[in-house]
Amino acid sequence: MKVTFKLETFEGPLDLLLHLIDQAEVDIYDIPIKEITDQYLEYISAMQQLELEVTSEFLVMAATLLSIKSKMLLPKPPVIELEWDGMEEGEGEDPRAELVRKLIEYRKYKGIADHLRDKELERSLIYTREPEDLTPYVPKNVNPVEGIHVADLVWAFQKALRKMAERNRITKIRRDEISVKDRITEIVTLLDNRGGRVLFSKLLETGFNREDIVVTFLALLELMKMKKVQCYQHNRFEDIVIQAREDGEGIHGYTPDEISY
């Protein structure tokens, strides 16, 4: 049976190496193998001084680091250019490449493990209720149309038809709509009765709907177009004053035939 020893916060040699790399703030793709190896050996030595059992995995990693360090110190073979494939003989793979691949893979799985650990902790805070036996609440298989014949359906249909025939008819009443022409006549009459001046708010009676307001606007614009009235305000945002024009015939010369509506 395989036993995993957890030494302080490190669960293995790769975990220790990642800690040393992060602590030194170096690029994992360009590891300073000499410094990292020295720090790793110092940690192993400290473990032995404290009489802690050092597993074989840590010793194997130490031997691997020393091997990589020795390869990095060896002089590189001369470069020979080959014309047939454009490659340079003597260029081998970086001795650290295999170690870098293992570290990157270990970091990926360690991140996934940390994420799953957080999810486990989050889920442990949720308490669920044990499932209960709901069999007594399950309705029995009962045929809802059991005992009903075709004659019963025909009788129900005829009864529904009789109800439809006896139902009182409701007459739909259509709302009377006023035309722009009629509205202009009403405004002219109102101006004539009030001495040729009226406030715009007086044109909008209580209960006017949207259509009535639109028709009133159109009627007022038509009267301005025919130069029968003029509109102005004494101050900003005050009520609009509608004044019958005194020049020309004004509203007294108005005839419904002048309207194009």
**Confidence tier at 118 by pLDDT (50, 70, 90):** very high
Q: Decide if 112 is inside a domain.
A: yes
What is the pLDDT averaged over residues 117-126? 89
As a three-state string, the secondary structure of the chain is CCCCCCECCECCHHHHHHHHHHHHCCCCCCCCHHHHHHHHHHHHHHHHHCCCCCCHHHHHHHHHHHHHHHHHHCCCCCCEECCCCCCEECCCCCCCHHHHHHHHHHHHHHHHHHHHHHHHHHHHCCCCCCCCCCHHHCCCCCCCCCCCCHHHHHHHHHHHHHHHHHCCCCCCCCCCCCCHHHHHHHHHHHHHHCCCEEEHHHHCCCCCCHHHHHHHHHHHHHHHHCCCEEEECCCCCCCCEEEECCCCCHHHHCCHHHCCC
- Mean pLDDT calculated for residue range 14-26: 82
Best-predicted range by mean pLDDT among 61-65, 78-82, 172-176? 61-65
Q: What is the CATH number of the domain that holds 236?
A: 1.10.10.580
Q: Identify whether residues 109 and 204 lie together within a single domain.
A: no
Domain that holds residue 112: 13-75+90-124
Q: Same structural domain for residues 189 and 107?
A: no
In a domain, 153, yes or no: no
Q: What is the mean pLDDT of residues 53-61?
A: 74
Do 106 and 187 belong together in one domain? no
Give per-residue pLDDT as tens, 36-49. Answer: 888 888 888 877 77
In a domain, 172, yes or no: no
On whether residue 130 sits in a domain, the answer given is no
**pLDDT tens digits along 200-255:** 888 887 667 788 888 888 888 999 888 888 888 888 778 888 888 876 455 655 55
- What per-residue confidence (pLDDT) applies to 233? 86
Residue 116 shares a structural domain with residue 219: no
Answer yes or no: is 169 within a domain. no
| 143 located within any domain | no
126-150 mean pLDDT: 79
The predicted-structure confidence for 152-176, as pLDDT tens digits, reads as follows 878 888 888 887 776 666 666 666 6
Domain count, the chain: 2
The answer to the question of residue 226 being in a domain is yes
Mean pLDDT throughout 147-154?
Answer: 80
pLDDT level of residue 100 (50, 70, 90 thresholds): confident
Using CA atoms, how far residue 131 sits from 124, 128, 134, 139, in Å, is 18, 9, 9, 19
Same domain, 118 and 17: yes
With a cut of 70, say whether residue 85 has pLDDT above it. no
